[in-house]
Each structure stands twice: as structure tokens, then as C-alpha cells.
Amino acid sequence: MSIKGKSQELYIGKTEINIKDYQWRYKLIKIQYSDISKIEYCFRTMTEGGYIDFHDTYGHFERFCFPRKSNAAIQRAIDYIEERYPDLVIEKHNTDDDPIYSKNVFIAVLSLFCCWPIGLILNWTTGKRTLQERIMFTVLILLIQVSLYLFWVWYTKMQINNAVDSVNEYFNQLYNFGI
């Protein structure tokens, strides 16, 4: 069974799981079912990303991220794995249980309108997005914030120049009138 993700492809086999990762460079990850201690997954919603994590016994995990159209295929894959390996721990994560600070909408609003450093920190620490998404979001927020700062500097400079020009004009009128 093959499932296409965002920048990955997941192959569910009889004895192993293969993840082809095309994000930065081609990487093939092979995971035997015997090496998996548990599987966590979360379906893609309108605002939150979908993923499936394959945890090994050492605490390391491999994440496969997928779009909304792959939700049904992921459910079929989970059913297939449960059927073939009933002793394997499989946990479904519900995004409604997440705290508000880990929601994508909250992080975006916080980053755009309020405290953008805190929003960027939350973006990098929640771990729900791929590295590429986190980098793109960070660059976008930094571009917006730097643009706003430069506009504010330009506007303040124009205000100061206008004030200095009006003071100079006032003094020129005084000196011209008095002489």
C-alpha cells in the first residue's frame, strides 16, 4: 500500500514500513514492524496537519506528514497494521485535546499581531509541522515584521522631517520679518 504525503511517500508492507523522503534530499527510511514500539497518528483537519509517527523502543520516531486527501488511505493503513499486528500499540491523537498554544491558528495570530518572537518559538517547539513548513513560516513572519518595522521607521522619519521643516519655515519667517 502506497500513500503520498507532503514531501514523502509511505509504503506499508507485510514485514516493514518504508518512508521515501524528498524534502531536502532523497532518503529512504526502512522500519521493521518488530522494531516499532507504538504508532501515533492524527488526521489532517482544516487548520492542523496530519501525521503518523512510528516510534522505536529507544524513543526515536519517524514522522510521515500527509494532506487531507490522504486521511482515508491512512485509516486503511492503520486498519491493515492493526489486523496484521494486533499487539502493536496504536494511538489516535485528537487535535481537539491540544492546548490552545499549540494550535496553528493561535500561533499564526500571535505571530502576526502580537508577540511574534513567542509565536515563532511556539512554531518551533510544538513539533507538529515539517522542517520545511517551519522554515517557510519563520521567513514569512520575519519578512512581515521587518517590513512593518521599516515602514514605521520611514513614517517616523517623515514625521520628524516635516516637523523640522515647519520649524525652519517658522524661523525663516521670523528672521525675514525682523530684518
**Per-residue pLDDT tens for 71-85?**
899 999 999 999 988
Of 96, 114, 139, the last residue of a domain is: 96
Same domain, 78 and 160: no
Domains held by the chain: number: 2
Same domain, 73 and 127: no
DSSP string, 116-151: HHHHHHHHHHS--S-HHHHHHHHHHHHHHHHHHHHH
Domain residue limits at 142: 98-179
**Per-residue pLDDT tens for 79-128?**
999 998 889 899 998 877 777 777 777 888 888 887 888 888 888 888 77
Reported as half-sphere exposure (CB side, CA atoms, 13 A), residue 57 has a value of 5
**Per-residue pLDDT tens for 43-55?**
888 777 788 989 9
Same domain, 109 and 138: yes
More confident residue, 121 or 177: 121
Are 18 and 30 contacting, i.e. CB atoms less than 8 angstroms apart? yes
Grid coordinates representing 48 are 492542523
pTM: 0.68
**pLDDT for residue 105:** 75
Cα–Cα dist 31/53, whole Å: 12
CB atoms within 10 A of CB 178: 6
**pLDDT for residue 179:** 55
The radius of gyration of the chain from alpha carbons, rounded to an integer in Å, stands at 27
Of 75, 96, 117, the last residue of a domain is: 96
Same domain, 177 and 128: yes
Please determine, for residue 7, whether its predicted confidence score (pLDDT) is greater than 60: yes
- Average pLDDT score over the chain: 86
- Least Cα distance to 54 among 81, 36, 79, 78 occurs for 36
Whole-number Cα distances in Å, 49 to 13, 125, 127: 24, 15, 11
Opening angle at CA 94, ends 50 and 72, nearest 5: 45
Cα–Cα dist 16/32, whole Å: 4
Of 96, 116, 131, the last residue of a domain is: 96
